[in-house]
């Protein structure tokens, strides 16, 4: 995990208005808003790497409730169009979502159903999907 965070930091683009990392209290607020606990790896990502901007994918964030990547908003929208409520959105691509379950497995919810492909952890998804994107 630490190596991937370091790699993400090296790849991060400089932008005029950088993203901020959330506080632990902000993560608690996010959990209260979506009424489901965040898996441990998602918390780690949010606390230590959610300010990274890289490539074409825009994973969720938790510091700014007005950001288009704000986890409760992205997840609520995904739920509203049919993604099962036991999943938390981690990245939106149009009306498709990469999502995570409580055990930390990541999957793609696409065209109204879960695709076959799975990633055993958020960090595997970061390495295989986000970094190359």
pLDDT digits (tens, 9 = 90+) for 1-24: 789 999 999 999 998 888 999 999
Inside any domain, residue 58: yes
Place of tokens 């958020």: 122
**What's the pTM?**
0.94
pLDDT value for 133: 86
pLDDT value for 124: 97
Inside any domain, residue 43: yes
Q: What is the C-alpha separation between 32 and 24, in angstroms, rounded?
A: 13
Inside any domain, residue 125: yes
- Mean pLDDT (whole number) for 18-46: 97
Inside any domain, residue 126: yes
**In Å, how far from its chain's centre is CA 65?**
14
How do residues 120-129 score in pLDDT, each as one tens digit?
999 999 999 9
| Owning domain of residue 53 | 1-9+21-130
Inside any domain, residue 15: no
CATH number of the structural domain spanning residue 59: 3.40.1580.10
Q: What is the count of structural domains for the chain?
A: 1
Q: What is the C-alpha separation between 110 and 98, in angstroms, rounded?
A: 8
- Would you call 81 helix, strand, or coil by DSSP? coil
How do residues 65-120 score in pLDDT, each as one tens digit?
999 999 999 999 999 999 999 999 999 999 999 999 999 999 999 999 999 999 99
Inside any domain, residue 14: no
pLDDT value for 86: 97
Inside any domain, residue 106: yes
Is residue 101 exposed (0-12), middle (13-18) or buried (19+ Cβ within 10 Å)?
middle
């Amino acid at each position: 995990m630490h190596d991937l965070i370091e790699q993400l930091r090296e790849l991060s683009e400089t932008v005029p208005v950088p993203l901020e990392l959330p506080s632990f209290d902000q993560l608690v607020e996010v959990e209260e808003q979506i009424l489901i606990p965040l898996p441990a790896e998602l918390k780690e990502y949010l606390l230590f790497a959610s300010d990274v901007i890289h490539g074409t994918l825009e994973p969720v964030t938790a510091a700014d409730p007005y950001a288009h990547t704000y986890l409760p908003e992205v997840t609520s929208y995904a739920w509203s169009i049919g993604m099962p409520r036991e999943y938390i959105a981690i990245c939106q691509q149009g009306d498709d979502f990469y999502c995570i379950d409580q055990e930390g497995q990541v999957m793609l919810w696409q065209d109204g159903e879960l695709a076959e492909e799975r990633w055993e952890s958020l960090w595997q998804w970061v390495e295989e999907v986000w970094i190359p994107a």
